[in-house]
Amino acid sequence: MIQVENLEFQYPGNDSPTLKGLNFEIDKGEVFGFLGPSGAGKSTTQKVLYKILNGYRGSVWIDGKDLSGWDNTYFGKIGVGFELPNHYLKLTGRENMDLFASFYPDGRKQKVEELFEMVDLQEALNKRVEAYSKGMKMRLNFIRAIQHNPDILFLDEPTAGLDPVNAHKIKQHILDLKAAGKTIFVTTHNMNTADEICDRVSFIVDGELKTTDSPQKLKSQYGKEAIRVELKDGRMEEFPLDKLGENTAFLTFIKQAEVKHIQTLEASLEEVFIQITGKSLVS
């Protein structure tokens, strides 16, 4: 669906490039994530892909067609969830949604009430956006991005500024969209978000991709596929996950005293990130 080769981009006026030759591809129906610290170039990459920034080098193919060859129909095909809330404050949530829906040839695919309900905003439908909290505005960003039923979604930090309950809801909706066959490109500096929703992630630091793989593979590659069992009497031992149920040493061990704690030795995505890039996600 999306193929990117040697993508380089430099902001006019800067003296070094922000993106230094990125290579990645995103398959149809995949949730693909960019995980990286602030300033890594996540938003910049998306801005190139949704054609706000021109003058990149390298090649970008969308649906088999060169990005620069796409005309305005491209924008009917994609949906963009911006990093920061951006709405007309003097208009209501519904008026904002209606206005932007009106630019698409086929309009909106779902009732506006349903969309607001999806993200728990039904009470705010007819309120002016100036009366919304930041989290509410971000949820409005999300439903505006999906209202015309686009094939490709660019979601820049879709859970930033949301409380855990709402963040969870948005993540669930992203998975639903994936199930409906959408191609989804998310950016995040939150490893949990990446871990929970992405089929594959790329680690991006200083405009370079350090690795790309599924969160599961990365975690097991850099951790141990094993568990550590701690008993109440203080004894502690490690056992491989493989055939654990048939491992007599393990079964005997847990019968010797009450179990205090069992922990997997899989690395967290954040630990993997630090090992691979030598950088922390929170700078």
Q: If you search the block for the tokens 């610290």, which residue do you land on?
A: 37
Count of positions on this chain that bind another protein (CB under 8 A): 28
Q: What's 92's DSSP letter? A: B
Residue 131, amino acid = A
Choices 30-38, 51-59, 213-221, 269-277 (CB under 8 A): range interacting with another protein: 51-59
- Residue 116 interacts with another protein (CB under 8 A)? no
The answer to whether 208 and 202 are in contact (CB under 8 A) is no
x/- track of binding to Mg ion for residues 71-90 (CB under 5 A): ------------x-------
Give, as ranges, the residues between 56 and 95 that touch another protein (CB under 8 A).
Answer: 72-76, 78, 80, 82, 84, 86-91, 95
Q: Work out the number of other CB atoms within 10 angstroms of the CB of residue 128.
A: 16
Instruction: State yes or no: residue 39 binds ligand ATP (CB under 6 A).
Output: yes
Of 32-40, 98-106, 119-127, 243-251, the segment contacting ligand ATP by CB under 6 A is 32-40
Evaluate whether 27 touches 183 at the Cβ level (below 8 Å).
Answer: yes
- Counting other chains too, the contacts that 169-174 makes at CB distance below 8 Å and 24 or more residues apart are 169/118, 169/119, 169/120, 170/119, 170/139, 170/142, 171/196, 171/197, 173/118, 173/119, 173/142, 173/146, 174/31
Name the strand (E) or helix (H) holding 215.
helix 215-222
Interacting positions 70-129 with ligand ATP (CB under 6 A): 83
- Least spacing, CB of residue 138 vs another protein, in Å: 13
Work out how close the CB of 162 gets to Mg ion at its nearest, in angstroms, rounded to a whole number: 16
Output the 3-class SS for 94-147: HHHHHHHHCCCCCCCCCCHHHHHHHCCCHHHCCCEHHHCCHHHHHHHHHHHHHC
Give the binding-site size for Mg ion (rule: CB under 5 A).
Answer: 3
What span, in angstroms and rounded, lies between the C-alpha atoms of 206 and 211?
A: 13
| Residue 42 CB, nearest approach to ligand ATP (Å) | 3
Task: Give me the least distance between CB of 138 and ligand ATP, in Å please.
Answer: 14
Binding mask 121-140 for another protein (x = CB under 8 A): -------x------------
**Positive or negative CA dihedral for 61, 64, 66, 67?**
negative
CA nearest 266: which of 210, 213, 227? Answer: 227
Instruction: Pick from 24, 44, 183, 269 the residue near ligand ATP by CB under 6 A.
Output: 44
How far apart CA 102 and CA 97 sit, in angstroms, is 9
Residue 52 or 244: the one with the smaller Cβ distance to another protein is 52
Q: Is 43 in the site for Mg ion (CB under 5 A)?
A: yes
| Part in contact with ligand ATP (CB under 6 A); list of ranges 39-47, 57-65, 125-133, 144-152 | 39-47
The residue ranges that bind Mg ion (CB under 5 A) are 42-43, 83
The residue ranges that bind ligand ATP (CB under 6 A) are 11, 14, 18, 36, 38-44, 83, 189
The residue ranges that bind another protein (CB under 8 A) are 50-53, 72-76, 78, 80, 82, 84, 86-91, 95, 99-100, 102-105, 128, 144
